[in-house]
Each structure stands twice: as C-alpha cells, then as structure tokens.
C-alpha cells in the first residue's frame, strides 16, 4: 500500500488581534481576529494545518488568540509582543464594519522554515517594523512556493498614502495570486475600472488576480482567461471575516489543484476556466457561510460540503 502524500506546508504571516465589536443594537463582543489570523483559522478548519507567524502578548487577550487558533489546528510561531493588538469594529445596520486599531507589530524572519505556500496580508505587510520581515519572507519563498497576497487596505492606519501604495503595488508584482476587494482597488487606483486594474496587475507579475465586489460577486483574471462568479445569496449577520474566508477557500482550492511548491506558477497557468470557476464558487460559498453568522467564524470542511450539497 502506498503511503498517503503529506499535506502541503502552509505558512501565513501577519497580525493576530482581538476584535472589539460594537453592534448596531448596542451590544459589545470581544473575539480573536486579524485578517491573516482569520485566513489561518479558516485554512485550519478546511484541514490545511497551517503555521501562523505573528506577534501576540503574554496577556489574557494573547492567550485567547492562541487557544482560538489551536482549536482549529493552527500552529502559532513568533515573538511575544508587549501587548496583544486590538481592533475596534463598529457595525452598521447592514452588518458592515469600520475599524479603529491599536497595534504592536514586530517580527523577524529568522529561523522560519520555507513552506510550500506562503500567504501574507493586510496591515502586517506595510506596517513597520514587521513589514520588512514580511517582505523578506516573501522574497525567500519566491520561485519555491505558492505566494498569495491580500492587501486588505486599512485607510485609518495609513499616514503616508504614496509610500504605502508603493509598498502594496511592489508586493502585488512579486506574488503569484492576489485577492483584493473593490474597496482596495478604489483606494489604490481611484476612479479606475476594476477589470482594467485586475488586467494590469495580472500583467505585472501575478498569475491569478481575484477582485471581490461584495454582493456583486467576484472577477478573476489570468494571462489567458477571465471569469466572473455571482455572490451566494444569504441573510447577512455581519461581514467580519468574509474576505478572509474567501481567501482561505481560494488557497485551499489551489493547493488541491497542485499549485504549491516550486511548480505552483505552472499549475496556476494550466488551470482552465471550468476549474477556476469552480474554485471561485467554493470560495464564495465559504464566505457566505461566514457572513451568515456573527464574527469571524468560518466553516469547517464538513460544513462547507453540507452547505454545497444543500444548494445543489
């Protein structure tokens, strides 16, 4: 009997924090979060067992983050922060969130084993001093792993717009897969059409560019094809973690297509329209499950399969 192949080693790098959520009804909840941490959590629930390189404090908030991630088979690696970062989220009547952050982000790239797939994103990719280590890890993985990036722009944290824009566009050029929101595109390229931007990004380096447009679904662009997928209809509780769940679903699907390690770009380029569309639909369904319940609570693989069967 042939032994089963081991799972690809997935490394996620970025912030983990505590979301303090003020809901429209006046209630306040505290729960672990942070965009890269949410991606790692969702990947863990899909069976990927990722590593998360992050920075959290030796405090009750930090302990809550570690326990939350460990419960979904995520291994936390990194230095201890002075305090665990927080994000104050205010939800409107439709469940959409605006954020205020108190962050401590500093890591090193030392002692990190190269992975088969690397995901970076959000605040950690542009906030110093940790952003330098994020870029170093990206460059070390270039040509050796699948590299995915979600800019997840947070305007409230940005002082020097031109500098951050330059950082983001540089990271986009060096990654294999980009997942951005329509809001990210509007901040980076005001007044430009989403499809035009996605095509230009695709020509700059990434093999796959996906832009999500909330209830408008998503657009995917590769050097040889374009695909559009509608959003899944669902009763929205809140949008916290929706984009991160979509990102995780996309990464998990790409790993299943063999897009990891040194051959990741070849596998991406060989993917046809039918397979790409199926991956996008699965990612959209995972995000729909998340928005149907409060907070960043992505589905397990079993829940995703059951939901998919119910809609077929």
Is 267 among the domain residues?
A: yes
* 44 domain residue, yes or no: yes
CB of 131 within 8 A of CB of 167? yes
Whether 1 maps to a domain, the answer reads no
d(CA 175, CA 170): 9
In a domain, 261, yes or no: yes
In a domain, 2, yes or no: no
Q: What residue numbers bound the domain in which 232 lies?
A: 10-307
CATH code for the domain in which residue 35 is found: 3.40.1190.20
Q: Hunting for tokens 């040889």 — which residue is that?
A: 224
Cβ proximity of 17 and 84 under 8 Å: yes
- pLDDT value of residue 310: 67
pLDDT of residue 311: 66
Cβ contacts of 141 within 8 Å, gap of 6 or more: 114, 115, 118, 147
| The total number of structural domains that make up the chain | 1
For 241: left if phi > 0, alpha if psi spans -120 to 50, otherwise beta; the answer is left
Asked if residue 49 is part of any domain, the answer here is: yes
CA–chain centroid gap for 84, Å, is 20
Between strands 218-221 and 208-212, the pairing is antiparallel
List strands edge to edge, sheet with 146-150. Answer: 75-77, 51-53, 10-13, 117-121, 146-150, 177-181, 208-212, 218-221, 226-229
Under 8 Å between Cβ of 78 and 101:
no
What is the chain's pLDDT, residue by residue, as a tens digit (312 residues)?
A: 333 467 999 999 999 999 888 888 888 888 899 999 999 999 999 999 999 999 999 999 999 999 999 999 999 998 788 889 998 888 888 777 777 888 889 899 988 999 999 999 999 999 999 999 999 999 999 999 999 999 999 988 888 999 999 999 999 999 999 999 999 999 999 999 999 999 999 999 999 999 999 889 999 999 999 999 998 998 888 888 899 999 999 999 999 999 999 999 999 999 999 999 999 999 999 999 999 988 788 999 998 888 766 665
Residues 230, 98: Cα–Cα separation, whole Å: 24
């Amino acid at each position: 009997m042939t032994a089963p192949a081991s799972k690809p080693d997935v490394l996620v790098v970025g912030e983990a924090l505590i979301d303090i959520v003020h809901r429209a009804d006046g209630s306040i909840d505290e729960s672990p979060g942070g965009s890269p941490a949410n991606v790692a959590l969702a990947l863990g629930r899909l069976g990927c067992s990722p590593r998360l390189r992050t920075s959290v404090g030796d405090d009750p908030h930090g302990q809550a983050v570690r326990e939350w991630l460990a419960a979904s088979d995520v291994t936390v690696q990194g230095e201890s922060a002075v305090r665990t970062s927080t994000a104050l989220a205010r939800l409107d009547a439709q469940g959409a969130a605006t954020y205020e952050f108190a962050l401590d982000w500093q890591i090193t790239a030392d002692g990190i084993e190269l992975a088969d797939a690397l995901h970076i994103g959000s605040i950690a990719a542009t906030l110093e001093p940790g952003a330098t280590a994020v870029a170093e890890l990206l460059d070390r993985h270039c040509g050796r792993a699948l590299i995915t990036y979600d800019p997840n722009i947070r305007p409230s944290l940005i002082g020097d717009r031109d500098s951050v824009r330059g950082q983001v566009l540089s990271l986009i050029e060096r990654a294999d897969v980009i997942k951005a929101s329509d809001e990210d595109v509007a901040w980076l390229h005001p007044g430009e059409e989403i499809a035009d931007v996605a095509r230009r990004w695709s020509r700059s380096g990434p093999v796959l560019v996906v832009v999500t447009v909330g209830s408008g679904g998503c657009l995917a662009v590769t050097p040889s094809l374009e695909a559009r997928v509608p959003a899944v209809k669902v009763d929205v509780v809140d949008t916290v973690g929706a984009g991160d769940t979509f990102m995780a679903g996309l990464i998990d699907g790409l790993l299943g297509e063999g897009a990891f390690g040194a051959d990741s770009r070849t596998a991406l380029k060989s993917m046809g329209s039918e397979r790409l569309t199926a991956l996008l639909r699965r990612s959209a369904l995972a995000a729909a499950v998340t928005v149907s319940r409060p907070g960043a609570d992505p589905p397990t693989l079993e829940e995703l399969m059951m939901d998919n069967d119910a809609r077929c």
